[in-house]
A and B are shown apart, each in its own frame.
Chain A
Amino acid sequence: MTAAIYAFIVGFIVLNGIIGVVTYITLLERKFAARMQSRIGPYYLGWPHGWLQPIADALKLMMKEDIVPALADRRVYNLAPIVFLVPCMLIFATLPFAPGLGVADLNIGILFFLAVSAMEIVGLFMGGWGSNNKYALLSVMRAVNQIISYDLPFIFAALVPALLAGSLKLSGIAAAQPDVLHWFIFYPVIGQLAFVAYIVAMLAAENRVPFDILEAESELIAGFRVEYSGMKFALIQLGEYAHITATSFLGALLFLGAWSGPGAAEHPGLGILYFLLKAVGIFLLVTWVRWSFVRIRVDQILAISWKLLLPATLVLLMATAVVVAWKGPVVG
């Protein structure tokens, strides 16, 4: 019973912490993009530098009229944002934020993460199908294509550190990288290649420019969420940013040593801060790519995945297996 209460409290804190981080990561992205484009970005709501903007956005979305298209499949349409949001939030469950601080440090943590994160496509497809809109339909057709194509390379790239660490447990992978030199990104050749593959596959799996063909507002207006408004739109947006935040955290955990860093062993609080900063770093890397590239076409996206990224990550995974069989896993 006490364990259940403990899990409930931790889950509550993590969930709300995540929502807070996700809300403010949108502000970070807007500020970052604004600087790239020689603008200032949100400025007036909240001194200094518009830090109340995300709250104002959320309030605005709550006030908006909730529209259901007349010919929409009401049940599917209304359920879709929830089905989309739940896996995006659930993947945080296995993420440890410091040694021993996490909701559920499963033995197969990374597998759980990858499996649940791929489930967002169900909600996405329901939304696109249920809105009875041609743009949304085209968008989810693309989404299914793209997510199936990119989840495999994403999984393969994410499994490389798991193989190196010899553990599927996320805290185990983190523990195998106790200091900067042991971060898997610095593992000769394999680490760097896997990191690049991870970032590319992450861009695609998160539908960020240059792979955002399912949002593609210049062709498909807003893609699968074209008919959504108000809080349902906010839930989809929240899910999307939660997902990208989670994958940023995962990237920081797999390749950048999670909470390890100078002084983190003595002060666990410092470790959490390090972890957050690393995840934000990965997020900004993705944002940087997003705001500098143009979007590529659906056939080109599929070609990149099946002809280049998938074989490359497969070979990389096999090479890692050979290295591990020869030298044994890295044990921190």
Chain B
Amino acid sequence: MDIEGRQVLEMGYGGAERITMNMGPQHPSSHGVFRAILTLEGETVIAVDAVVGYLHRCHEKLSETLTYTQYPSIASKTDYVAAMTSELAYVRAAEMIGKIDVPKRAEYVRVIAAELQRVASHCLWLGTWCLDMGGALGGGATVFLYCIREREDVLDLFESLTGARLLYGLHQVGGVRYDIPAGWATQCRQTVDKIDRRIDEFEEMLESNAFFMARTQGVGVASRELAQEVGISGPLLRGSGVNYDIRRAEPYSSYGDFDFKVPVETAGDCFARYRVRMVEFRESIKIVRQALDGLPAGPISSRPGVKSVGQVRIPKGEAYARVEGARGEVGCYLIADGSAKPYRMKWRGASFSNLAILPHIIPGHKVADVVAIMGSVDPVFGEVDR
């Protein structure tokens, strides 16, 4: 984009009057602790520099000190908004190295958990994004509170499944820890039906609102080429017109059994990303329903007797497991040395890679668009900094 030309046209001066403004790490819309150093000319952002790392907790080193039984409960702390996905990536990496079978029922429970988690995560994303654009003292807060209400229902489901509401520890190497309790399937169906209806309401409330459209359409356009070059993934990538979803490209767990669509939008702006996520809501709900219908009987883990922390030993080897999280590709690279603890581990956080798009798409926009674009990227800083 020819920013200099735009400046002269709009503001009437060549651009010598610049100020530097820190947005974050303490800022109402930093979605955690993110510091964006903006260079402004008037209201227009001409450069953005990102500083991450405020939430670094040595996850990768920590994993070397914890056994395969212990770490899945900690893995959920990387992306605490969609905790199920990182657990899944970790145990899948271990299972790939050890060639451990996972019973069909466990695979289905994993898929149900992952998709419910996607719904919960997108709920929070929609709410916080509208909060970014509409303000905590305005219409944004209204959407936020509606979304939180829906997310609560999903968290209730997780609570009755695992006993926890945020960090679950559902997965273990070889299966899942908890079976579906009695009556849970019915409760789950009711919840997803309700959310399905509520999504219609959200769409109606937002898309018939001219101001919402004005704030999102044509804002923060990431072209297909740029998206592929930077290496973003998930809804962002699909919003830029790339039809790529790991659930489809490389079906893991039991995703091959289900019928679902992968939404793709070509515009690449904030609105396209919004549309992709709104369709994903519905597709996730569809998958949950199918999985509940076809839930097979049988054991929930191939190693049900695991009680003590050091009992799982993974043979020497290495593997990269990736899953489609709510924000994109969540990958776990694991090197095992035959003991009960991994030798090395590396996370690929979807948010971290997605953030790299910001310096490419923010310059040339107004300050107000910075928060809209950042919200549409949906970063979770636990995952960025790990």
A-side residues, CB < 8 A to B, are 33, 36-39, 134-135, 138, 141-142, 209-210, 212-213, 215-221, 290-300
Asked if A296 meets B215 with Cβ closer than 8 Å, knowing A216-B368, A218-B29, A218-B132, the reply is yes
Instruction: Report 25 cross-chain contacts, Cβ distance below 8 Å, ordered by A residue.
Output: A33-B141, A33-B142, A37-B142, A38-B149, A134-B19, A141-B42, A141-B43, A142-B43, A209-B137, A209-B138, A212-B138, A213-B368, A216-B368, A218-B28, A218-B134, A218-B135, A218-B136, A219-B23, A219-B29, A219-B367, A219-B368, A293-B139, A294-B135, A296-B214, A298-B43
| Residue among B27, B40, B211, B369 making CB contact with A294, cutoff 8 Å | B211
- Separation of A142 and B44 alpha carbons in the complex (Å): 12
Residues of B within 8 A of A134 (CB): 19, 21
Residues of B within 8 A of A215 (CB): 135, 137
Residue of B nearest to A220 (CB): B367
Q: Are B142 and A138 in contact (CB under 8 A)?
A: no
State whether the Cβ of B377 lies closer than 8 Å to any Cβ in chain A: no
Asked if A294 meets B366 with Cβ closer than 8 Å, knowing A209-B137, A218-B140, the reply is no
Residue of B nearest to A142 (CB): B43
B interface residues, tally (CB under 8 Å): 37
State whether the Cβ of B335 lies closer than 8 Å to any Cβ in chain A: no
Residue interface mask B134-155, A partner, CB < 8 A = 1: 1111111110011001000000
Asked if A38 meets B135 with Cβ closer than 8 Å, knowing A219-B370, A221-B27, A298-B368, the reply is no
Nearest chain A CB to B198 CB, angstrom units: 11
- Separation of A138 and B22 alpha carbons in the complex (Å): 13
Asked if A294 meets B19 with Cβ closer than 8 Å, knowing A38-B145, A218-B131, A300-B214, the reply is no
Residues of A within 8 A of B138 (CB): 209-210, 212, 290-291, 293-295
- Separation of A39 and B145 alpha carbons in the complex (Å): 9
Asked if A138 meets B43 with Cβ closer than 8 Å, knowing A37-B141, A218-B140, the reply is yes
Residue of A nearest to B138 (CB): A209
In addition to A209-B139, A219-B29, A294-B211, 15 A-B residue pairs with Cβ atoms within 8 Å of each other are A37-B141, A134-B21, A135-B21, A138-B43, A138-B367, A210-B211, A216-B368, A218-B133, A218-B140, A220-B367, A292-B139, A294-B140, A294-B209, A297-B214, A297-B368
- Separation of A182 and B43 alpha carbons in the complex (Å): 46
Chain A CB count within 10 A is highest, among B133, B136, B369, for B133
| Residue among B27, B139, B209, B371 making CB contact with A291, cutoff 8 Å | B139
State whether the Cβ of B212 lies closer than 8 Å to any Cβ in chain A: yes
Nearest chain A CB to B21 CB, angstrom units: 5
| Residue among B134, B149, B368 making CB contact with A293, cutoff 8 Å | B134
Nearest chain A CB to B363 CB, angstrom units: 16
Residues of A within 8 A of B142 (CB): 33, 36-37, 291-292
- Separation of A247 and B127 alpha carbons in the complex (Å): 32
- Separation of A216 and B141 alpha carbons in the complex (Å): 13
Chain B CB count within 10 A is highest, among A213, A218, A296, A300, for A218
Q: Are B28 and A295 in contact (CB under 8 A)?
A: no
- Separation of A260 and B366 alpha carbons in the complex (Å): 47
Q: Are A217 and B137 in contact (CB under 8 A)?
A: yes
